Amino acid sequence: LGLAIVKHLTQAMKGNVHAASVVGHGATFTVRLPCAAA
């Protein structure tokens, strides 16, 4: 449920979420969001 919420919010902000896992070592989740130049 938590990852589904993260995906929905990330897509609403025009970003993306990526998941990678390695058996026996867990998973890594990366969220990328656009950021305007300062």
Query: What pLDDT, on a 0 to 100 scale, did the predictor assign at position 1?
Result: 84
Residue 6, phi then psi, degrees to nearest 5: -60, -45
Residue at 38 is within a domain: no
Domains held by the chain: number: 1
Residue at 14 is within a domain: yes
The pTM for the full model equals 0.72
Residue 20, phi then psi, degrees to nearest 5: -135, 140
Residue at 37 is within a domain: no
Contact yes or no for 32/21 (Cβ under 8 A): no
What is the residue-level pLDDT of the chain in tens, covering all 38 positions? 899 999 999 999 999 999 999 999 999 999 999 999 88
Domain containing 23 equals 2-32
Query: What pLDDT, on a 0 to 100 scale, did the predictor assign at position 38?
Result: 81
